[in-house]
């Protein structure tokens, strides 16, 4: 006989955004673009940019503190901290270890997770496994990015898309039938070149030459990513639903990765969901990679949009290529 599985769910959420706003009209002064093009092609109106002396962990810490307060969990109760990011403060130590120290989470194991924009959904899936098997009781999962530091501000194809921010969730045991009901994680490394920072690691260490050629910044084949994303976002949610015999119509809220409003609309259409049930904040913040989903989730929770028992589907895709979704029955009272 196998031991009864513990139900893992979200106990609290938090988010933080840098104050500085960069609008489309500000970008018109930097590159050959227009508010009209950016709004029509992406849905983005403005994004947040971290100050020069602000690192990913600074944003992550504020989001984490809000999530812990919301969950009524103290740092010394944490068994695990996962930070999903592609813009860690340094290659070593991990940003998760920096957060562990800053929070004073003395008992927690800590590591970073690299799955780009799918990172938060990957992260809560990983953390929930530890809770479900009884190994850990409380986990903190953060998605945090300072993408502005990896943007080529002369490349209009990419510089209009990205922003900075952090979102977090505290996970722990919830009532039977609630919490994370199902997940789907996937990857296709053959598409790895579609979004990359060519000079950032052991393949091509950063050098004067690579900096001169801007190879230390984000390079993206937008069209290729777009084609992949419109399929991946809807399909991964369908796979998560299939695993628990749930129907699309049962989803109350879709919380998608915020890369492009047209990708979000197409995912909603594939899932036959009206846009009123889709959490969208891309117009305010742009694409913040791993931070998009937890910020959208935390903002919607703070606005009391979710009711206890609501079915929430998280859906992300990103560099790797990767994709991930989770189906959650919301366990918090409003």
Q: Is 159 a catalytic residue?
A: no
| Residue among 117, 159, 292, 326 flagged as catalytic | 117
Crossing angle for the helix pair 222-243 and 261-270, to the nearest 10 degrees: 30
**Least distance from C-beta 84 to ligand ACO, angstroms?**
12
**Least distance from C-beta 227 to ligand ACO, angstroms?**
9
Site string for ligand ACO, 288-307 (x = CB under 6 A): -x------------------
Given 96, 160, 174, 215, the residue binding ligand ACO (CB under 6 A): 160
CA atoms within 13 A on the CB side of 261: 16
DSSP count for the chain of H helices, then E strands: 11, 13
CA atoms within 13 A on the CB side of 309: 0
User: Between residues 82 and 161, which has the closer beta carbon with respect to ligand ACO?
Assistant: 161
Site string for ligand ACO, 202-241 (x = CB under 6 A): ------------------x-xx-xx--x------------
| Residue among 7, 24, 97, 257 flagged as catalytic | 257
User: Between residues 64 and 194, which has the closer beta carbon with respect to ligand ACO?
Assistant: 194
Q: Output the residue with the shortest Cβ distance to ligand ACO.
A: 222
Q: Where would I find the beta strands (DSSP E) of the chain?
A: 8-16, 21-23, 46-48, 80-84, 109-113, 139-146, 164-173, 179-187, 195-196, 219-220, 253-256, 311-318, 322-329
Q: Which 3 state secondary structure label does DSSP give 164? A: strand
Cα gap 205→288, rounded to integer Å = 25
Stretch that binds ligand ACO, among 91-99, 102-110, 152-160, 304-312 (CB under 6 A): 152-160
| Residue among 159, 287, 292, 326 flagged as catalytic | 287
User: Between residues 109 and 186, which has the closer beta carbon with respect to ligand ACO?
Assistant: 186
List the interface residues with ligand ACO, window 122-151 (CB under 6 A). none
258 is an interface residue for ligand ACO by CB under 6 A? no
Cα gap 164→222, rounded to integer Å = 19
Stretch that binds ligand ACO, among 54-62, 100-108, 156-164, 296-304 (CB under 6 A): 156-164
Given 60, 84, 217, 319, the residue binding ligand ACO (CB under 6 A): 319
> Exposure pattern of 97-124 as b/e (b: 16+ CB <10 Å)?
bbbbeebebeebbbebbebbbbbbbbbb
Q: Is 292 a catalytic residue?
A: no
Crossing angle for the helix pair 292-302 and 56-71, to the nearest 10 degrees: 40
List the interface residues with ligand ACO, window 35-94 (CB under 6 A). 37-38, 41-42
Q: Is 117 a catalytic residue?
A: yes
Cα gap 333→4, rounded to integer Å = 25
> Exposure pattern of 23-47 as b/e (b: 16+ CB <10 Å)?
ebeebbeeeebebeebeeebbbbbb
Positions that interact with ligand ACO (CB under 6 A): 33, 37-38, 41-42, 116-117, 156-157, 160, 195, 220, 222-223, 225-226, 229, 259-260, 287, 289, 318-319
Report the catalytic residues.
117, 257, 287
């Amino acid at each position: 006989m196998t031991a009864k599985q513990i139900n893992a769910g979200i106990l609290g959420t938090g988010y933080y955004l840098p104050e500085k706003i960069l609008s489309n009209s500000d970008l018109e002064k930097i590159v050959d673009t227009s508010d009209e093009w950016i709004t029509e092609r992406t849905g983005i109106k403005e994004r947040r940019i971290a100050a020069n002396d602000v690192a990913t962990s600074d944003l992550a810490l504020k989001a984490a503190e809000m999530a812990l307060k919301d969950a009524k969990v103290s740092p010394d109760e944490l068994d695990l901290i996962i930070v999903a990011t592609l813009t860690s403060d340094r290659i070593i130590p991990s940003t998760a270890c920096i957060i562990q120290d800053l929070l004073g989470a003395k008992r927690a194991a800590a590591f970073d997770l690299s799955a780009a924009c799918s990172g938060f959904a990957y992260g809560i899936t990983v953390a929930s496994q530890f809770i479900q098997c009884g190994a850990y009781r409380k986990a903190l999962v953060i998605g945090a990015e300072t993408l502005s530091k990896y943007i080529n501000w002369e490349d209009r194809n990419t510089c209009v898309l990205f922003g900075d921010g952090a979102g977090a969730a505290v996970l722990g045991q919830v009532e039977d039938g609630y919490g994370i009901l199902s997940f789907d994680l996937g990857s296709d490394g053959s598409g790895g070149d579609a979004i990359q920072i060519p000079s950032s690691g052991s393949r091509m260490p950063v050098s004067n030459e690579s900096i001169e050629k801007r190879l230390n910044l984000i390079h993206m084949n937008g069209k290729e990513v777009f084609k992949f994303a419109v399929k991946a976002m809807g399909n991964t949610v369908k796979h998560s639903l299939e695993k628990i015999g749930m129907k699309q119509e049962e989803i109350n809220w879709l919380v998608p990765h915020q890369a492009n409003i047209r990708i979000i609309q197409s995912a909603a259409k594939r899932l036959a969901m009206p846009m009123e049930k889709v959490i969208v904040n891309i117009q305010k913040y742009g694409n913040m990679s791993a931070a998009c989903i937890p910020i959208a989730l935390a903002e919607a929770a703070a606005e009391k949009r979710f009711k206890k028992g609501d079915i929430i589907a998280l859906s992300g895709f990103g560099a790797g290529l990767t994709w991930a979704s989770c189906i959650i029955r919301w366990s918090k009272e409003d």
